[in-house]
Structure 1
Amino acid sequence: MLPSVSSLAVVGLALLSRVSGTILQNGQVRITNFPNTRVDPSAHSFTTYPQNATQISYQGRWDSKYVSWWSAPGLKFGFTGPQVAISFGPLTSPGVLVGYRIAGMDWQFTNITAGGTHLLVTEQTPGLDLNITGAVTTFELRVTNWAYGVQIDSIHVAAGHKAVKLPDAKRKIEVIGDSLAAGMYTSYEGLSSWAYGVGAGLGNTDYSITAYPGICAADQDCWGNPRGQVHQWFYTSDTSGRAAQAYGDNPDLWDFTKDKPADLVIINIGTNDQNRANNVPPSVYADALTKLIQGVHGKYPDAQIIVMSLWLGFERTGNTFLSVSHKGFINEIRDMIAMFNSEAYLRDPMTYDGRTKTVSRIGRKTKPFVHLFNTTGILQHNDIGPQWHPTDVGAIKVASHLLQYIKLTLGWELEATGPEVFHETLYWNDEPNY
């Protein structure tokens, strides 16, 4: 989000260490009560499943060692009985904060110990119905910290009970972006981001957020990210120091065949490209975004694609605030979308492979598939925090408008039925006399 020079050090620090469970709101520490869920597994009687058990549905990107990457990766499975525990491998980021819940209950949070076993569901867990013998309950876990991850070693349920494979959701979306989509500076990062809000808010939808702070669309160094999304989107891991330590210069390619293809891909990237510190010319940005969309089209040939216009914050002008979003490559974005939806391109579409840097032709498309979501007017200056990123409220506003755009443009019904999406946003006043 167009950081000032003085904010760059803060951004760098955030990239290095945010594992602590401390949450700041307006500079003050928010009171949290994250339970210590670590247990000695030898003191419990479990039925255990390995990390590669077919009962586990991994959400987002996980590598061959079952280490998670990017923003808000997670897993889900069904279970019977009164207990769920997870053993985490040594490649887990120490103290990383995860959100977890059963069925439609609210998110709970705990800090994870690398190499530890954490008991996350017990007889006292609210909403666990023990009166129905053999009932299957859904368990879900998501990593909150965009710069960190967990390694799954095994999952456990109570002895004599079982884990159950859950069916895929009706729809699947993927969000591709930078810090704005990753949830940088929102309360629960990935689980407070607008990208998560769209995925969870749609209901009956699996979602993946391939986003990382500071990254450009163009394939160059931006804020310490050595590669851009036009390259990195094709890989399992993000551009973090954690990934560099794990893979060096040989990251795992992402196997696009291991999951159900996305039905919708939302792209919000270019905020870092337009920053003068990264000096990406408009033509280079347009070329990178074009190739990224071609790559998405090649991997998900039936997916609809939504490209979001950029919001770049506000400048005080006289006695008011004015948006500077007109500086956000808007002409390049509009021209590119027009090209993809043109009869000439639909007659002879091309795909791009970020690994081999090759362009190839695929079969004819019958109708336009790239859409522009214009973010102008959604956020006002008080929806942007001091570090140039949306506040929690700002993220909710973006998600809400985008949900309606998806409904009106694609005809998708909003199928969320009541479970919590954004945690700790339930504020109310019941005092009438003031």
Structure 2
Amino acid sequence: MRFSGVAAALWTSLASATILQNGQVRPNDYPDTTISTISSYNSSWHTYPPSAPELSYKGRWDDKFISWWSAPGLKFGFQADQVAISFGNYTSDGVLVAYRLDGQDWMLTNVTSSTTHLFVTPSTTGYNLTTPANATQTLELRVTNWAYGVQIQCVHVSGGAARLVKIPNYTRTMELIGDSLSAGQYATLEGLSSYSWGLMYGLGNVEFSITAYPGDCLHEGRCYADITVINLGTNDNNTANNVTATEYYNSYIQLINEVHTRWPQSQIIVISLWSGFGQVGNTWQQGAGFLDETQNVVKYFNNGSLNQQGECSSCFVYYFNTTGILQHNDIGPQYHPTDVGHVKLASHLMQYIKLTFGWILEHTGPEVQHDTLYWYVPLAKENDEEDY
């Protein structure tokens, strides 16, 4: 798989980090879900291999059941009292994963190689809230980082019927192709704080993959749904990479042609580059890398399809203008969006897709981005009290 050499060198440095929130250290003492051995915890486990048909892998995984890229996941139904997962020796030590039971809030834990983690017991929040009590429940796990993640060795269930259940895939699919801005680099939960995650998981009932990796360039990038979103070019626009406007333009056309050859029915959204903010006089102004070239790529595919009113019945490439969505304080110290910046981008893209393609926003309850419920607490009073 591409970038495997780079990823192998990087993943060991991703195991632990301090999360700063407005200059304050955010607590990250997540619960330890490790159990020493399966047999020592319970002797009546039914174990499934990673290739079991009941297991649905989301995003990018290789044939060794190793996760790649941004926010890959594993999802399955079960009828059992306990669920545990064993991770193989290719798992990044200490990698942070999010998991949840049915529609409960995400929970976080660190996993490491060659260990087994207990994710569901009868004391887990939301356990057996379904009717009837023995109905199928769902466990979903997502890897937060954007490189080498986890290796699934096997899944264990015990109690009740002690079996896994295949969860049908959604009928809509999306692909997002990008770089570190889309992968969520420097966001608090990386992939799970990114606008890519917020967009596609927020739409609901969508199978999606985020093919995004820090440092990726359009000029050498190759990747591939109902809707394909492309946000590439920021690294090409870096003068250190010496990518010319002509090379950028031609590579973008080539990439779209490849995507459309692979997915002829896919609608493609091209995101304009916001390229950070610079101070101009006494205010700030958004940059615009490869602005003309990006717009000309869209025109290349659509010019022959426009009628006299500027409408297009056969267009499949669309231009999403980011101007005005982000402000300079939506960009963090490492030149990437803050969590708030990612939420703003995701929200605008969701509405754009709703208005352009008529998609209904179906995610109506379970949280999408974890740890974004912020409020100020003065003297133990919440800010919903009128007299504080």
Q: State TM-score, norm by structure 2.
A: 0.90
Is this contact kept in 1: 2:78–2:163, CA < 8 A? Answer: yes
Q: Pick from 198, 221, 227: which aligns with 1:264?
A: 227
Is this contact kept in 2: 1:38–1:113, CA < 8 A? Answer: no
Instruction: Tell me how far 1:14 sits from its aligned partner.
Output: 7.8
State which drifts further: 15-24 or 298-307: 15-24
Deviations 1:187-238 (A, max 9, x none): 100000000001111011111100001111012xxxxxxxxx13xx37xxxx
1:32-71 equivalent positions in 2, closer than 5 A: 32-39=28-35, 40-43=37-40, 44=42, 45-71=44-70
Query: Which ranges in structure 2 are unaligned for 5 or more consecutive residues?
Result: 1-8, 307-311, 376-382
Instruction: Tell me how far 1:430 sits from its aligned partner.
Output: 2.3
In structure 2, the partner of 1:137 is: 137
Instruction: Tell me how far 1:183 sits from its aligned partner.
Output: 0.3
1:352-391 equivalent positions in 2, closer than 5 A: 367-391=314-338
What SS does structure 2 have at the residue aligned with 1:277? helix
Paired amino acid for 2:154: S
In structure 2, the partner of 1:165 is: 166
In structure 2, the partner of 1:430 is: 384
Instruction: Tell me how far 1:21 sits from its aligned partner.
Output: 5.5
In structure 1, the partner of 2:146 is: 146
Instruction: Tell me how far 1:431 sits from its aligned partner.
Output: 3.5
Deviations 1:119-152 (A, max 9, x none): 0111111111167342111111110011231111
In structure 2, the partner of 1:198 is: 199
Instruction: Tell me how far 1:47 sits from its aligned partner.
Output: 1.3
In structure 1, the partner of 2:27 is: 31
Paired amino acid for 2:196: A
Instruction: Tell me how far 1:18 sits from its aligned partner.
Output: 2.1
Is this contact kept in 2: 1:97–1:144, CA < 8 A? Answer: yes
- Give the whole-Å Cα distance in 2 for the aligned partners of 1:382 and 1:123: 44
Residue 382 to residue 200, structure 1, CA distance change in 2 (3 Å)? same
Q: Pick from 254, 261, 284: which aligns with 1:321?
A: 284
What SS does structure 2 have at the residue aligned with 1:98? strand
What SS does structure 1 have at the residue aligned with 2:329? helix
In structure 1, the partner of 2:189 is: 188
Residue 78 to residue 29, structure 1, CA distance change in 2 (3 Å)? same
Residue 136 to residue 419, structure 1, CA distance change in 2 (3 Å)? same
- Give the whole-Å Cα distance in 2 for the aligned partners of 1:317 and 1:298: 43
Residue 269 to residue 16, structure 1, CA distance change in 2 (3 Å)? farther
Is this contact kept in 2: 1:21–1:111, CA < 8 A? Answer: no
Deviations 1:48-107 (A, max 9, x none): 111000001100111111111100011101111221111111111111110000111111
Q: Pick from 343, 367, 370: which aligns with 2:304?
A: 343
Residue 316 to residue 366, structure 1, CA distance change in 2 (3 Å)? closer
- Give the whole-Å Cα distance in 2 for the aligned partners of 1:275 and 1:75: 36
- Give the whole-Å Cα distance in 2 for the aligned partners of 1:135 and 1:340: 50
What SS does structure 2 have at the residue aligned with 1:180? helix
Instruction: Tell me how far 1:277 sits from its aligned partner.
Output: 1.3
Is this contact kept in 2: 1:19–1:145, CA < 8 A? Answer: no
In structure 1, the partner of 2:293 is: 332
Query: Which ranges in structure 1 are unaligned for 5 or more consecutive residues?
Result: 1-12, 220-228, 235-261, 346-364
- Give the whole-Å Cα distance in 2 for the aligned partners of 1:263 and 1:51: 28
In structure 2, the partner of 1:297 is: 260
- Give the whole-Å Cα distance in 2 for the aligned partners of 1:27 and 1:67: 35
Alignment: residue pair count: 363
Q: Confirm whether residue 89 of structure 1 aligns to residue 88 of structure 2.
A: yes
Instruction: Tell me how far 1:337 sits from its aligned partner.
Output: 1.0
Is this contact kept in 2: 1:51–1:152, CA < 8 A? Answer: yes
Q: State TM-score, norm by structure 1.
A: 0.80
Instruction: Tell me how far 1:171 sits from its aligned partner.
Output: 1.1
Paired amino acid for 2:304: E
State which drifts further: 423-432 or 106-115: 423-432
Is this contact kept in 2: 1:174–1:209, CA < 8 A? Answer: yes
In structure 2, the partner of 1:18 is: 14
